[in-house]
Amino acid sequence: MKQIFSLILFSSCFFCALAQTKPAKPKVKYDTVIVKHVYQPAAKAVRKKPAAPLVKKEIVLPEPEYINQPCYYDKDANKLIKLENANALLVTKKKVLGLKGAKQSLSMDAPSSKIRFTTKKDIVFFIKTSGDVIDLTSYIKLYQFVPVDQKREVTINSKEGILIDKDEAKGKQMSFGVKMISKDNYQVQLPQQLEAGEYGFVWVKNMELKEFTVFAFGIDWKNID
């Protein structure tokens, strides 16, 4: 009886030990790696600065090289063009021993100027002074000359006589204004565009002279549109 009890106890211990040594189930492996999603706030939009406005390049106006010599201003090329430098004689004529008066004219060689303008656009002149000129228009005049016998003439002064004079004056004086653009530098402003013909600026500060310098030019179109 004692032996049977021992066998039963041994069998119970054996099965208990066997149950304890039973291998654990293998863990399941997954190929997919699960990453925890982390919320990130949206990046703020960067506002672009507006483009800087284009700065217009300042145009430096040219200055005449010599004083008291009008020059044509070519606006497209921003440069000055010298006019024809000619000499004119002051001629005084009495008509019929003074009974029909007398006239003074400026006469220069050649019926036309070598410097000509043919494009239909405004004509602008620059002139530089020595700085001692108060009223520029009192010292320099713009005349329209008339071709006469292979010369260019303009009547600058005329006196009527006792008898009626049917001889018309040749050419005429053209009015203009001046605008200061810098110290001692001026722009000649014409009240209206010039018609076709021969022209010249004359420095008349000293009218006792018998010979004057004329800065001449010519225009080849008849009218300005």
User: Is residue 56 one of the residues assigned to a domain?
Assistant: no
User: Is residue 24 one of the residues assigned to a domain?
Assistant: no
* pTM attached to this predicted model: 0.68
Are 117 and 83 contacting, i.e. CB atoms less than 8 angstroms apart? Answer: no
User: Is residue 121 one of the residues assigned to a domain?
Assistant: yes
Token output for 62: 């040219």
Model confidence at 173: pLDDT above 60: yes
pLDDT in tens, 32-48: 555 555 566 666 666 77
CA distance 89 to 202: 12
User: Is residue 171 one of the residues assigned to a domain?
Assistant: yes
User: Is residue 125 one of the residues assigned to a domain?
Assistant: yes
pLDDT in tens, 52-86: 676 667 788 899 999 889 999 998 899 999 999 99
Least confident range from 107-121, 165-179, 204-218: namely: 165-179
Q: Choose among 161, 154, 157: nearest CA to 207.
A: 157
Identify the domain containing residue 192 by its residue range.
Answer: 71-219
How many folded domains does the chain comprise?
Answer: 1
User: Is residue 16 one of the residues assigned to a domain?
Assistant: no
User: Is residue 113 one of the residues assigned to a domain?
Assistant: yes
User: Is residue 174 one of the residues assigned to a domain?
Assistant: yes
Least confident range from 128-137, 140-149, 194-203: namely: 128-137
